[in-house]
């Protein structure tokens, strides 16, 4: 995984993207911003109370003098952001919008929505639910997507990488949501890995070998995903061995599939199966798990674990830069 993250960091350097951190009053964020700026991985922008951030950086001997700092209390274009927020959400009164934009996550999301920055990385001091809700209210969804979701990069011993989705956000996605999760993950796989995505929708059934409403849900998802984007290689429903092992796929399938036996993206039917599977892969197969990485928004927003260290923040930031 370290090699993969280094590759992401090197790729991010060539992108020169501007990354917003709305939790600037956290020393980990300040340290990460300093390194991102020094190593030219990205151009960090920090949000927070100027006096508190400057005192914190001085107390911890972190140089931020060349890093842009935005204090919402004195931001000169605040009225423009309020107007933009009201335009995006026509049922919101100006006074309510002004109050909402005092929250750093909403303020940061509107800077992202306005094009002032390219991406936003949050979560060091906020819950995942707050990060997702703020992104929905500000950046909104990408084309054809109505569901936020996530993926994990599973780096297996031997160098093989698989994307697992959704293992962190949607508990019981319906067919449409599964289809959107697949499309979002495929698009991000191509951006990050530079390879053709091959998406397998997983079930306990392979191409109708079992009949049950939960199997039918996955079957409908495959049809819907193809309707959204018929250029992505996707297929199912498959059992996991059919999706991953060519010899098994050849035995179980009556006709050729461009995905079966060679899948690099696994779409799980629910959060139970996804979360259990990624942890089994991590602890029994010795895989490294990177994520969850949020997806589905019109502009990239990433969520950090509240226990994230500086290296975690830098890695997630590099990935987010590549999703623009």
Give the CATH number of the domain where residue 18 resides. 3.40.50.10950
Give the CATH number of the domain where residue 253 resides. 3.40.50.10750
Are 6 and 97 within one domain?
yes
Strand residues in 136-211 grouped as ranges (E)? 149-155, 161-165, 198-202
Are 132 and 195 within one domain?
no
pLDDT score, position 165: 96
Are 21 and 43 within one domain?
yes
Q: How far apart are CA 170 and CA 204, in angstroms?
A: 19
DSSP string over 246-266: HHHHHHH-SS--SSTT--SEE
Are 287 and 154 within one domain?
yes
Sign for the CA dihedral angle at 270, 306, 294, 198 comes to negative
Helix (H) or strand (E) holding 45: strand 43-47
Are 271 and 186 within one domain?
yes
Q: How far apart are CA 1 and CA 245, in angstroms?
A: 23
pLDDT score, position 149: 96
pLDDT score, position 272: 96
Domains in the chain: how many in total?
2
Are 130 and 82 within one domain?
yes
Are 166 and 204 within one domain?
yes
Are 169 and 285 within one domain?
yes
Helix axes 78-88, 104-113, angle to 10 degrees: 80
pLDDT score, position 1: 65
At residue 235, what are phi and psi to the nearest 5 degrees?
A: -160, 170
pLDDT score, position 15: 94
Are 157 and 265 within one domain?
yes
Q: In a 3-state reduction of DSSP, which class is residue 44?
A: strand
Are 134 and 239 within one domain?
no
Are 192 and 64 within one domain?
no
Q: What is the pLDDT of residues 181-236, one digit of tens each?
A: 999 999 999 999 999 999 999 999 999 888 899 999 999 999 999 999 999 999 98
Nearest in space to 109 (alpha carbons), one of 85, 127, 86: 85
pLDDT score, position 270: 97
Angstrom CA distances, 47 to 40, 109, 294, 322, stand at 19, 11, 21, 22
Are 133 and 45 within one domain?
yes
**Which ranges of the chain have pLDDT less than 70?**
1
Nearest in space to 222 (alpha carbons), one of 241, 243, 199: 199
Per the structure, the complete domain to which residue 267 belongs is given by 149-291
Q: How far apart are CA 208 and CA 225, in angstroms?
A: 18
């Amino acid at each position: 995984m370290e090699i993969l993250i280094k590759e992401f960091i090197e790729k991010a350097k060539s992108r020169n993207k501007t990354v917003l951190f709305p939790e600037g009053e956290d020393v980990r964020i300040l340290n990460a911003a300093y390194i991102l700026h020094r190593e030219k991985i990205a151009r960090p922008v920090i949000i927070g109370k100027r006096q508190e951030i400057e005192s914190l950086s001085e107390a911890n001997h972190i140089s931020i003098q060349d890093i842009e700092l935005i204090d919402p209390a004195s931001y000169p274009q605040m009225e423009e952001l309020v107007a933009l927020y009201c335009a995006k959400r026509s049922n919101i009164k100006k006074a309510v919008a002004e109050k909402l934009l005092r929250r750093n996550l909403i303020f940061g999301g509107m800077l992202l929505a306005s094009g002032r920055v390219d991406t936003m990385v949050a979560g060091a001091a906020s819950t995942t639910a707050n990060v997702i809700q703020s992104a929905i209210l500000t950046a909104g969804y990408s084309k054809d997507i109505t569901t936020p979701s996530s993926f994990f990069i599973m780096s297996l011993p031997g160098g093989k990488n698989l994307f697992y989705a959704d293992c962190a956000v949607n508990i019981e996605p319906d067919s449409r949501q599964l289809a959107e999760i697949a499309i979002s993950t495929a698009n991000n796989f191509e951006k990050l890995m530079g390879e053709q995505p091959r998406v397998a929708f997983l079930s306990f059934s392979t191409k109708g070998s079992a009949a049950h409403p939960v199997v039918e849900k996955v079957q409908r998802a495959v049809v819907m995903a193809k309707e959204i984007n018929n250029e992505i290689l996707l297929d199912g429903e498959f059992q996991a061995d059919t999706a991953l092992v060519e010899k098994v796929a050849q035995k179980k399938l009556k006709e050729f599939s461009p995905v079966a036996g060679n899948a690099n993206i696994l779409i799980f039917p629910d959060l139970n199966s996804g979360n259990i599977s990624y942890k089994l892969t991590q602890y029994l197969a010795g895989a490294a798990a990177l994520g969850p990485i949020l997806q589905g928004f019109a502009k990239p927003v990433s969520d950090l674990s509240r226990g994230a260290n500086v290296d975690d923040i830098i890695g997630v930031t590099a990935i987010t830069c590549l999703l623009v």
